Structure 1
Amino acid sequence: MPHFLPPADLARIFAGLPQAYLVLDTDLTIVAASDLYLRTTDRTRDDIVGRHILEAFPENPDEAGTVEQGPLEVSLRHVLATRRQHEMNVIQYDIPRPEEEGGGFQKRYWTPIHTPILNESGAVDYIVQTPMDVTESVLKEREADARLRIAMHAGSLGSWEYEPETDIWRRNAIVDEMFGFAPGEGSPVAAPFFARMHPDDLPRVGETVEAAVASPDRTTLRFDYRVVLPDGDVRHLASRGEVLRTSNGRSRLIGVVMDVTADKLREAELTDSLAMRESLLEQKDLLLAEVNHRVKNSLQLVVSTLGLQSRRVNDSHTKAAFGQAVSRVKAITSVHERLYRTDDPLVVDMHDYLVGLCADLAENSDLKEHVRARVAPIRLKTEKAIPVALIVNELVTNALKYAYPEGTKGPIALTLEPATDGMLELGVVDEGVGFAGESVDSGLGMRLVRTMAMQLEGRFDVRTTSKGYHATVTFPERA
């Protein structure tokens, strides 16, 4: 005769299992939890058993619109409908603190797995949630994520993640705005967003998504489409992304989206202007401004794509290399951005540009208040402005990293002023410990500076003294 454990013993064994488990019935009411689950979430059985999961773990009011109640419920109902296990991506779900500890919420990140328990007829009786607390690893990456968010915000880029199997649609607030949804109005699924796509574009987008589901990991995606807002206005959006595969082989799409409506309107205006204007010079200026704008947009997409890719990298040296690449591309991007915003698309005002570039480079540094830029009213053509931008990016970044050991501070000065005989002198000087980073001769950054100095037909000099690090590039103002 087989020996069956008494129900009381089964309950006791389940409660003591060395994993975190939560059991829900088909109404998503909590019916059981392991001891480790209770410790992990700082709750007691009396707190949660017998309550709906979204009631037992309410939304943090201070994080409204950012926590993941919507996708969590979508995942659970997907398991009920398909009777198949579903593994969620990392979600933010904050845990209420006990009143005796001051109440409020504690920020937490999880990767929940939802597994159906079927009865003899094949119907779902229960769902077992197995959450993995990944808060520590997520918080370690928050600086890189913050930099990526800043870059996306500066470029007015939306970020999104889409799970075709469940229609779970995660994105930042910029995406909601692009589709005409007010904060908190958008759904955790993509259906309402697809409903606002132009009917002529929707089939093509659907075909792209279907093809992506069957594509290998890291397949790149590119699709442009129009969005029809409730008031009838039309927006043009450009999305770029790639396919990611979960541990169970299911596909997930991740990417960025940019509103290119202004570009489309500018194209129309440019077409009309070229048809009306007879001046070849005016036509050239319009074309150059458009080229600079398009180059800026393309480079901004490169920056965001590099940032997204760096999040998949665990090696610190590789992640640092990604960061350096992003910084260099952003320096070039900002030159083209200034060109299309000026009356002369061939010339850059170096005073405004270099002061702004230094402020951007020092934004997240403890030395922010110690960086000074003294730039004469100099205007340079594009072919000189871009090498100067790259040189300043390398030298100022290196000074911020290496000039002052942790806990010490001092000045970092950038200058660009006329020298003698039609020459200009670009300098970056600090009063720190000297250059402690890569070798002046072999390091990639310094090789890039030397190459850019040669492109300017100039001379690069560097010296380290007891008063710090002095780097200068002397080059002719005009070719």
Structure 2
Amino acid sequence: MGGHPLRDAVFDAAPHAYLVLDPDFVIVDVNQQYLDLTGTRRVDLVGAVMFDAFPDNPDDPTADGVRNLRLSLETARSTGRPHAMAVQKYDIPLRGPGGGFEERYWKPLNTPVLRADRVVALIHHVVDVTDETIFHRDQAIRLRSAQRLDDLAFWEYDPRTGTIFASRAFASMLELAEREGTLPAHDCFARIHADDRAGVHDVFDQVMDAPEHTSVAFTNRLVLPGGGARWISSQGELVRDHRDALPRFVVVTLDITASKQREEQLSEALEDRDRLLAQKEALLGEVNHRIKNSLQLVASILNTDAHRSGHGEVRERLERAAARVRAVTSVHEMLYRSNEVTTVAFGTYLRELCKNLADGDAGTASVEMQCDAADLHLPTDKAIPLALIVNELVSNAIKHGLAGTPDGTIHVSTWVTGDGIALEVADNGRGKLEGAEQGLGTRIIEGLVRQLDASMNTGDAGPGHRVTIHVPLRTG
């Protein structure tokens, strides 16, 4: 740097430590602050290769200062951009009697000097952080204890040099050597499950040119040397030591293996539940099918007996009994044909029931059936009694209310109320006869209303007769 006295004086008097290297890492110049920090003389350094002047401590088997510094310098040289290193343990050789090494910690920054887009030198700038590092050792011990309790680990990834500065907890989590220091990133990423590795790399690659403090987050599996496996979740940020510096990532990792195991157990339990529900639905479907077939057989027997009995009250009673059985059969038929096994689409069912009645007794008596049914689902223990009630009310209307009435009409409707549903059956016949004897159908209706815990009102339909039943539906 000769030939520029003022520049040389400024360089030598700078309050920060600087060392100038040529592209082959030979020391070209050094300022006084650097000499003071390292306890060296200019004559000991200028002209020496950096790593000969400052070798690794041979008494420290974990020493990796030479390797890490070389990687950083090579990165700055090849990219033409500054490269900041994480805090680095790099012991300094003692030049005095007795020799040996002194434990030291540094915060290095390596900056290329360009001329015509070619790197002609490298400025090695260091800050001695030994006192701070040693001062914080007790805090670090407490932090590591907290990390073990909380399954937390800290690490710093430098993608340009392919290194990771791992906390003791992170190295332990990956079952690497349990020590704090810089490791080849490959050794850490090799622990990631093969199916997750590309995704983790993509997380970092996608934000390499992003602004400082851009967040990164990912979850992945670890495959450990002993055959064990872990799930980890990581959150971090991209950081730059100054505007033009290459990025690095500071990351916190949490071991979530226990949570994942509980999640998998819950998933298995839900799958078992769904399988059992499917089996239950298949079983209930088969039960409904068998009940339907059995009831159809009963209805057929009743109809056969009715035809054999000739005309009269016996035949009429048998036919009414067969109609009641068919009303129940049709509910189980709908349950069997639908995907539902515990509830009935009652609006659809009521329209089908009215059509069947229109094709049967109502058609025979020349009575028109009208149906205005709300679309709703009802439990089977509600649907079956209501089906029987409709069947009885329609039969009673045809037999009694509409007897001798031309253009007879029966209107069946349902609607939703505030706390349940209402069912109404009305006809345009002669109305209810006063003093008429209560028949079996009426007694059946009253019994079914009590079973439903419902209320029933009767009245004049003007003309005709109207029966309204309110069924409460309890929820929760």
Instruction: Give the shorter-chain TM-score range.
Output: 0.3 to 0.5
TM-score of the aligned structures, taking structure 2 as reference length: 0.48
Larger radius of gyration: 2
